[in-house]
Amino acid sequence: MILPHNIYVHVPFCASKCNYCAFFSRACMSPDWDAYSNEIINEIEHWAQLLGKIHVPTIFFGGGTPSLMPIDIFEKIISKIRNAFDVAPECEITLESNPGTIDDKKLNDFINAGVNRLSIGIQSFDNEKLKFLGRRHDVKTALSFLDTALQYKLRVSADFIYGLPNDTVDDVIKMCNNINALGLTHCSMYELTLEPNTPFGKMNLKMPSNETMADMYNAIDDILNIPRYEVSNYAAPGNECKHNVSIWDGAPYIGIGHGAAGRIFINNEWFDQMGGGARFEKISNNARAIERVITGLRMVRGIRLDKDIKKIINMEYVHAHPELLHQTSDGRIAVTRAGMLVLDKVLLNMVK
């Protein structure tokens, strides 16, 4: 039996590179979209041959900056996915976007072509900080695009970054109050991390201390008017990103395009897969269960204790640390708010 698979399509182009970005993307104002879409189509055909006309619950166009894609290229890819697989009418189709790369008309075209969830990289309410991060847009452009998006019938999320050098807890509280005023039903709050091989990674930036970062993290949970449901994600109930929740829960997904990762499930076996044909390797049920613990515990609701998970987790550690972990009324294991702050340590100790 072949289970439903979610689909992630990677769009590896951006108008320019942000100073903190370690994602697989390159700055390119006029990519060869035909060559890109032909590769994507070939990959879709490959998976349809291997897996058959499987059910696809969610599709996520991530990047990079997918909103740079010309609408005819998006239509070509989405109609290929619809023809190759069983895509339900209620399928969640997310497009990541950046302000300044998409106008009202283009957004309308994407919606008509099937996009029903939009994620917007707003990042900050401060023009100086946007400049420092290397973002191309200013606050006015971002908020006016968000306003436009909120007028359409689609689910909207926005991304923000906190914990910049010199940021204080008060700055983060102010940011959260601004977010509350926007009336969002979903947002992602990312702590700035210095990745090697990025401009920030090579600068000697003085970041807020770990204690300040922890205070900021807790302040976000206290101030935002939508609850945290994952380490960095907040949503009004029912507005969680179905694609990500499904993947964190351990469902199979296909990664399409260079830089995309997937986990394929065929005949009771798991395969680790990379887009562009870069990798397709069997992984053991044990290794997959460990991955499911790592991603599942990121969610506030935690992980279901099925037989594979029971084999690999150290229940003694769970019982010995009620301040970090707890068993939910529906039989899941979840981290507490204090546990979220030291999730890496919890995971190291929890997996046998």
- Tell me how far apart the alpha carbons of residues 142 and 153 are, in angstroms, rounded to a whole number: 19
Q: Of the candidates 294, 67, 340, which has an alpha carbon nearest to the alpha carbon of residue 191? A: 340
Minimum distance, C-beta of residue 133 to ligand SF4, in the bound complex (Å): 8
155 DSSP β-pair partners: 117
Which amino acid is it at 287? A
Residues across the chain:
352
CA dist 228 → 6, 51, 181, 342 (Å) = 23, 35, 17, 16
When the beta carbons of 66 and 114 are compared against ligand SF4, the nearer one is 66
Minimum distance, C-beta of residue 101 to ligand SF4, in the bound complex (Å): 9
Antiparallel, parallel or unpaired: β 233-235 and 303-304: unpaired
When the beta carbons of 27 and 236 are compared against ligand SF4, the nearer one is 27
When the beta carbons of 63 and 252 are compared against ligand SF4, the nearer one is 63
Alpha-carbon torsion 78, 84, 87, 91, what sign?
negative
158 DSSP β-pair partners: 120, 187
Minimum distance, C-beta of residue 13 to ligand SF4, in the bound complex (Å): 8
**What DSSP line would sit under 20-32, residue for residue?**
T--SS-EE-SS--
CA dist 193 → 137, 138, 233, 327 (Å) = 21, 22, 16, 31
Minimum distance, C-beta of residue 34 to ligand SF4, in the bound complex (Å): 22
- Tell me how far apart the alpha carbons of residues 53 and 84 are, in angstroms, rounded to a whole number: 6
Minimum distance, C-beta of residue 74 to ligand SF4, in the bound complex (Å): 17
When the beta carbons of 85 and 110 are compared against ligand SF4, the nearer one is 110
CA angle at 10 for the pair 5 and 14, rounded to the nearest 5°: 160
When the beta carbons of 58 and 98 are compared against ligand SF4, the nearer one is 98
When the beta carbons of 160 and 270 are compared against ligand SF4, the nearer one is 160
Minimum distance, C-beta of residue 170 to ligand SF4, in the bound complex (Å): 26
When the beta carbons of 63 and 163 are compared against ligand SF4, the nearer one is 63
Minimum distance, C-beta of residue 41 to ligand SF4, in the bound complex (Å): 23
When the beta carbons of 63 and 114 are compared against ligand SF4, the nearer one is 63
- Say if CB 186 and CB 239 are below 8 A apart: yes
* Residue 86 in tokens: 């069983």
Minimum distance, C-beta of residue 246 to ligand SF4, in the bound complex (Å): 22
- Tell me how far apart the alpha carbons of residues 111 and 302 are, in angstroms, rounded to a whole number: 33
- Tell me how far apart the alpha carbons of residues 23 and 336 are, in angstroms, rounded to a whole number: 29
Minimum distance, C-beta of residue 95 to ligand SF4, in the bound complex (Å): 13
Cβ atoms within 10 Å, residue 332: 17
When the beta carbons of 37 and 67 are compared against ligand SF4, the nearer one is 67
Burial level of 182, CB count in 10 A (0-12/13-18/19+)? middle
Residues forming the site for ligand SF4 (CB under 6 A): 14, 17-18, 21, 23, 25, 63-65, 98, 121
